[in-house]
Amino acid sequence: MSNDWRAMWAELGIDLEKHDQFLAALPELYEKTFINQFNRPQAMQYFDFVISEVHGLRVKELVDHKLKGGKVVASFCVFVPEELILAVDAVSIGLCAGAQFPVATGEKVLPRSICPLIKASIGFKLDSICPYFQVADFVIGETTCDGKKKAWEILNDFIPTYVMELPQRKEKEDYDLWEAEVNRLMQKLETETGKAVDFESLSQAVAKVNNRRKVLRRLYDLRKADPVPISGKDALLITQLAFFDDPERFSAKVSELCDELEERVKEGMGVVPQGTPRILITGSPMPIPNWKIHDIIESCGGVVVCEETCTGTRYFEQLTEEGQTISEQLKQIAMRAMKINCACFTPNNERINDILRLVEEYKIDGVIYYNLQFCHPYSIEYYKIERALQAAEIPVLKIESDYSEEDLPILQNRIQAFLEMVGQ
């Protein structure tokens, strides 16, 4: 990244010294994790570039958008309906939440015993080192878990934080509540931007977001091939970047990548030999730069071919159906989210079906259940998932981890042993 951005960062109120410290370790981590992978697709170059400019050029685009009177709205969760944000010509971005660096700062206002994603995100804001937090006009939070629900109250002291109430079951009243929340958000966005949502702007936004979902579906479909034409790390990186990059450019670039992968599949070319243990990751999300588990798996002779996570299939599997009026379209936007099988719902047995289906579709040899430390919903839901996988005779390993490197040796041992077991 060029040094030209320092003036922009300073203007955004970024703590330049801390920001330097934070960024210092990332190029080496990225190089080590991504660059020297075997037979890496050519089209990954674009995503390498995006990462290299994730605090630079992309932020500049957002600053320019704001100079033209546009708004930037930040969120954390696949339940926040991006379509509405785009429909008022605002930019929707994800928030920094995947690094260990700001966790200690997060722990100044939050208990230690909550998940690193929440501690990191609040820490990023308090440390003033996430340009997305700095450029965002406001944050849209949600009530998906106790940790986030209550952390928004604190975050709101530092940046305006609007909260959507996601219901906890999937009964009629819950659909009604969520539809009302989607409508409430539309009003909020109209007020904030001074732009009225009309049918055309909404339809275009739906098409744009659906299109990104479709290219990600295509990417994941290509991962079903054996040998798999792309590493799990690269695929994860792409899903992570989907939260940050311009959706149209991103979709075009993922399409190009898919064209290349399609050729590979035709030729039977992969990034690992056939017979490499194929792993499904399921559980908590993995925001940038959390590549820890994928990296261990792929360094220990396995390959991740699918993620049943919010930085995986839960993000893009469901499309928004097209509606014929604004209110019908809003209803469809609400309905789409309610099809996501997140552990925040009770019961959530559909997730079992999802996992068993993905195991089948992706020819999975073993499942790694990834739980962010202290993430209660996924951690407790493991009980049911484990039983279902055992009944289907699918090996499963539960990993609970934070963003630190302290548990790397233990994780490497456990994952190595698991891969040897499933590879037999």
Of 369, 43, 17, 26, give the one whose Cα is nearest residue 215.
Answer: 43
Q: Listing from the earlier edge strand, what are the strands of the sheet with 396-401? A: 303-308, 278-283, 366-372, 396-401
Per-residue tokens: 242? 């989907």
* Strands 278-283 and 303-308, sheet pairing: parallel
Q: Which of 75, 92, 143, 311 binds a second copy (CB under 8 A)?
A: 143
Considering only residues 63 to 102 of the shown chain, the ones binding a second copy according to CB under 8 A are none
The nearer residue to a second copy, 39 or 346, going by C-beta atoms, is 346
Q: Which of 44, 87, 120, 151 binds a second copy (CB under 8 A)?
A: 151
**Radius of gyration of the chain measured on its C-alpha atoms:** 21
Q: Which of 11, 31, 64, 153 binds a second copy (CB under 8 A)?
A: 153
Q: Which stretch binds a second copy (CB under 8 A): 94-102, 195-203, 339-347, 406-414?
A: 339-347
Q: Which of 81, 98, 123, 147 binds a second copy (CB under 8 A)?
A: 147
Q: Say whether residue 284 binds a second copy (CB under 8 A).
A: no
Considering only residues 347 to 366 of the shown chain, the ones binding a second copy according to CB under 8 A are 347-348
Taking the C-alpha atoms of residue 22 and residue 147, their distance in angstroms, rounded to an integer, is: 25
**Going by C-beta distance under 8 Å and a sequence separation of 6 or more, which residues neighbour residue 397?**
366, 367, 368, 369, 414, 415, 418
Q: Which of 168, 211, 412, 416 binds a second copy (CB under 8 A)?
A: 168
The nearer residue to a second copy, 61 or 386, going by C-beta atoms, is 386
Q: Say whether residue 109 binds a second copy (CB under 8 A).
A: yes
Q: Which of 82, 295, 381, 402 binds a second copy (CB under 8 A)?
A: 381
Q: Say whether residue 169 binds a second copy (CB under 8 A).
A: yes
Q: Say whether residue 373 binds a second copy (CB under 8 A).
A: yes
Taking the C-alpha atoms of residue 386 and residue 403, their distance in angstroms, rounded to an integer, is: 24
CB 377 within 8 A of CB 343: yes
Q: Say whether residue 203 binds a second copy (CB under 8 A).
A: no
3-class DSSP string for 326-391 = HHHHHHHHHHHHHCCCCCCCCCCHHHHHHHHHHHHHCCCCEEEEEEECCCHHHHHHHHHHHHHHHH
Query: Site residues (CB under 8 A) for a second copy?
Result: 109-111, 113-114, 143, 145-147, 149-154, 163, 165, 167-169, 171, 173-174, 176-177, 180-181, 343-344, 346-348, 373-374, 376-377, 379-384, 400
